[in-house]
Amino acid sequence: MKTTELRQKDVAGLQTEVKALQRAHFGLRMQKATQQLTNTATLRTARRDIARAKTILVEKQSAEKSAK
């Protein structure tokens, strides 16, 4: 997921996106544990996508607080 796509979402949209990314990451971890995951690099990209979404979420939340 690109940062431009994430920055277009509102706080609620970002929160749902983080939850969806965390569910996907959990599924990848379970696939790895059961030896079904062939491309383990997807774990790294999933972790980074979660971090990217959380960073933008915190930025938006702090911007809302400072605007009030």
For the segment 4-18, what is each residue's pLDDT rounded down to a tens digit? 999 999 999 999 999
Distance (Å, rounded) from C-alpha 48 to C-alpha 7? 16
| Band of pLDDT at residue 68, cut at 50, 70 and 90 | confident
Residue 3 lies in a domain: no
The whole-angstrom separation of Cα 51 and Cα 17 is 11
Q: What is the domain extent for residue 54?
A: 8-67
In a domain, 38, yes or no: yes
The verdict on residue 29 lying in a domain is: yes
In the chain, the number of structural domains is: 1
Q: What is the mean pLDDT of residues 38-52?
A: 96
Instruction: Say yes or no to pLDDT of 1 above 80.
Output: no
The answer to whether position 36 is within a domain reads yes
Q: What is the mean pLDDT of residues 51-67?
A: 93
Q: Does 27 reside within a domain?
A: yes
User: Is 48 contained in some domain?
Assistant: yes
Is 2 a member of any domain?
no
User: What is the residue-wise DSSP string for 12-61?
Assistant: HHHHHHHHHHHHHHHHHHHHHHTT--S-THHHHHHHHHHHHHHHHHHHHH
pLDDT digits (tens, 9 = 90+) for 16-44: 999 999 999 999 999 999 999 999 999 99
